Every structure is written in structure tokens, then in C-alpha cells.
């Protein structure tokens, strides 16, 4: 549910978004190792298999990322957020209200000021202090 204590909620959101970024880096590394395993059947191949062990093949994300996404979505719900890192540059820097979690997609429905509702990946949101 929505956080009653703004400071605690902000802390939870920052922590959860940090975990998402760490999980995303792990996912990228697992993909790099997987690519290497097609070339080298040695130690790197074993490391790649271990790294891919917690990957959700359907969604393409790791189990730790699932938990971080849930945590971030809960913490951000009802909070003012800023959009960044988007290919649609007109959205970067815009602020909005996080109104609905789209957990299965790793996204949040955000009511962007002057632009209506947008579905945004959680990794492209910053909590506005």
C-alpha cells in the first residue's frame, strides 16, 4: 500500500531502485557470459550457466529483480517522480504522479504533468524529494 511516512517511503524507493539497477547490471553480465559461452566451453561457460540460473526466461529478468521491482513499485505508488533516460527526449525531466503499478511489465503508470498517462519502466523514474 501507500507509504504514510514520506521519509521512510523515499528511503525505501531509493533502496529499491538501487536494487533494480544492480539486478539489471547482473542481467547484462549474464548475457555477456552467455555470449562468451558459445565461443569458449571452459570456465566462462560454467560461470555463464551459474549466472543464468536465476533468470526468468519468460520475462527476461532475474529473480532478485522481480523482488526489487515489487518493492520499488510499492514505495513509488502515490509519489511524485521525474522521468529520465528515455529515448523520447521530450519526456526526460518531466514530473508526474506514480498512480498504478504494472508489476508484470516492470513498469509504473505515471500521470505526467501536461501529457496525461504514460507507462514508464521503473528504472527510468527518480523519486522527487
Give 93-105 pLDDT, tens digit per residue: 999 999 998 877 7
Is 53 contained in some domain? yes
* Domain contains 111: yes
Q: Is residue 62 part of a domain?
A: yes
Residue of 5, 126, 16, 23 whose CA lies nearest to 74 = 16
Query: Given this model, what pLDDT does residue 118 score?
Result: 96
pLDDT at 25 over 50: yes
Structure confidence at residue 116 as a pLDDT band (50, 70, 90): very high
> Who wins on pLDDT, 2 or 68?
68
Question: Would you say residue 127 has pLDDT above 60?
Answer: yes
List, in sequence order, every beta strand (DSSP E) within the chain: 55-56, 61-62, 80-83, 95-102, 107-112, 116-121, 125-127
> Model confidence at 66, in pLDDT bands (50, 70, 90)?
low
Range of the domain at 107: 6-127
For position 47, which CATH number holds?
2.30.30.30
Amino acid 65: pLDDT: 61
Whether 88 maps to a domain, the answer reads yes
Assign 128 a pLDDT band (cuts: 50, 70, 90).
confident
Q: Do β-strands 80-83 and 61-62 pair in parallel, antiparallel, or remain unpaired?
A: unpaired
Confidence of residue 54 (pLDDT cuts 50, 70, 90): very low
The answer as to whether 20 is a domain residue is yes
pLDDT cut 70: percent of the chain above it:
47
- DSSP at 119: E
User: Is 1 contained in some domain?
Assistant: no
Q: Total structural domains in the chain?
A: 1
Q: Specify whether the CB–CB gap between 36 and 48 falls below 8 A.
A: yes
Instruction: Please give the backbone phi and psi of residue 69, each rounded to the nearest 5 degrees, phi first.
Output: -65, -45
Provide, rounded to the nearest whole percent, the portion of the chain with pLDDT above 90. Answer: 22
Q: Between residues 65 and 120, which one has the greater pLDDT? A: 120
Amino acid at each position: 500500500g501507500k507509504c504514510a511516512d514520506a521519509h521512510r517511503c523515499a528511503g525505501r524507493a531509493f533502496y529499491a531502485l538501487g536494487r533494480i539497477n544492480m539486478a539489471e547490471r547482473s542481467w547484462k553480465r549474464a548475457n555477456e557470459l552467455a555470449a562468451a559461452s558459445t565461443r569458449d566451453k571452459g570456465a566462462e561457460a560454467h560461470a555463464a550457466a551459474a549466472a543464468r540460473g536465476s533468470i526468468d526466461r519468460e520475462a527476461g529478468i532475474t529473480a532478485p529483480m522481480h523482488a526489487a521491482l515489487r518493492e520499488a513499485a510499492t514505495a513509488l505508488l502515490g509519489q511524485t517522480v521525474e522521468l529520465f533516460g528515455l529515448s523520447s527526449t521530450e519526456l526526460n525531466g518531466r514530473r508526474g504522479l506514480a498512480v498504478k503499478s504494472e508489476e508484470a511489465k516492470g513498469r509504473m503508470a505515471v500521470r505526467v504533468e501536461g501529457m496525461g498517462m504514460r507507462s514508464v519502466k521503473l528504472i527510468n523514474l527518480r523519486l522527487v524529494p
